[in-house]
Amino acid sequence: MELNVKTFAEYLAAGDTPEILFWVGCAGSFDDRAKKVTKAVAKILQAAEVKFAILGQEESCTGDPAKRAGNEFLFQMQAMQNIMVLNGYEVKKIVTACPHCFNTLKNEYPALGGNYEVIHHSQLIEQLLKEGRLQVEGGQFKGRKITFHDPCYLGRSNGVYEAPREVLSKLDAELVEMKRCKAKGLCCGAGGAQMFKEAEAGNKEVNTERSEEALELKPDFIAVGCPFCNTMMTDGVKHAEKEDSVTVLDIAEMIAQAADL
Partner 1 sequence: MLLTILPQLTFFIILAAGIALFAMNVRKISRNIKLGRDLNRTDQPGRRWNLMARVAMGQTKMMVRPIPGLLHLFVYVGFVIINIEVVEIILDGLFGTHRLFAPFLGDFYNFLIASFEILALLVLVGVVAFFIRRNIMHIKRFRQPDLNGFPRNDANIILLVEVLLMSAFLSMNAADLILQGRGAEHYEVFGSFPVSQVLVPLFQNWSTDSLILFERFMWWFHIVGILAFLNYLPYSKHMHIVMAFPNVWYSKLEPKGQLDNMEAVTREVKLMLDPSAQPEEVSGPVKFGAKDVQDLTWKNLMDAYSCTECGRCTSECPANITGKLLSPRSIMMKTRDRLEEVGKNMDANKGTFSDDGKSLLHSYITPEELWACTTCNACAEACPVNIDPVNIIMQLRQQLVMEESAPPASLGTMFSNMENNGAPWQFSPNDRGNWRDEA
- Is position 43 an interface residue for partner 1 (rule: CB under 8 A)? no
Which one of 72-80, 114-122, 166-174, 238-246 is the stretch in contact with partner 1 (CB under 8 A)? Answer: 72-80
Give the shortest CB-201-to-partner 1 separation in angstroms: 7
Give the shortest CB-121-to-partner 1 separation in angstroms: 15
- Between 39 and 170, CB nearer to partner 1: 39
Pairing mode of beta strands 145-148, 117-120: unpaired
Q: Which of 92, 93, 133, 156 binds partner 1 (CB under 8 A)?
A: 156
Q: Which of 18, 21, 23, 28 binds partner 1 (CB under 8 A)?
A: 28
- Is position 14 an interface residue for partner 1 (rule: CB under 8 A)? no
- Is position 7 an interface residue for partner 1 (rule: CB under 8 A)? yes
- Is position 69 an interface residue for partner 1 (rule: CB under 8 A)? yes
Distance of CA 214 to CAs 72, 118, 207, 242, Å? 35, 29, 10, 11
Q: Which of 17, 60, 169, 257 binds partner 1 (CB under 8 A)?
A: 60
- Between 14 and 201, CB nearer to partner 1: 201
Closest CA to 225 of 79, 103, 92: 103
Q: By rule CB under 8 A, what string of x and - marks binding of each residue 163-202 to partner 1?
A: --------------------xxxxx-xxxxxxxxxxxxxx
How crowded is residue 218: how many other Cβ atoms within 10 Å of its Cβ? Answer: 12
Distance of CA 79 to CAs 25, 76, 219, Å? 13, 5, 39
Contact set for partner 1, span 199-218 (CB under 8 A): 199-206, 208-210
Q: Which of 20, 48, 68, 211 binds partner 1 (CB under 8 A)?
A: 68
Give the shortest CB-243-to-partner 1 separation in angstroms: 22
Distance of CA 228 to CAs 73, 175, 190, 192, 235, Å? 24, 22, 6, 11, 11
- Is position 70 an interface residue for partner 1 (rule: CB under 8 A)? yes
Torsion, Cα of 16, 17, 18, 22 (10° steps): 120
Distance of CA 238 to CAs 36, 212, 243, Å? 19, 11, 5
* Sequence letter at residue 65: P
CA distance 2 to 24: 17
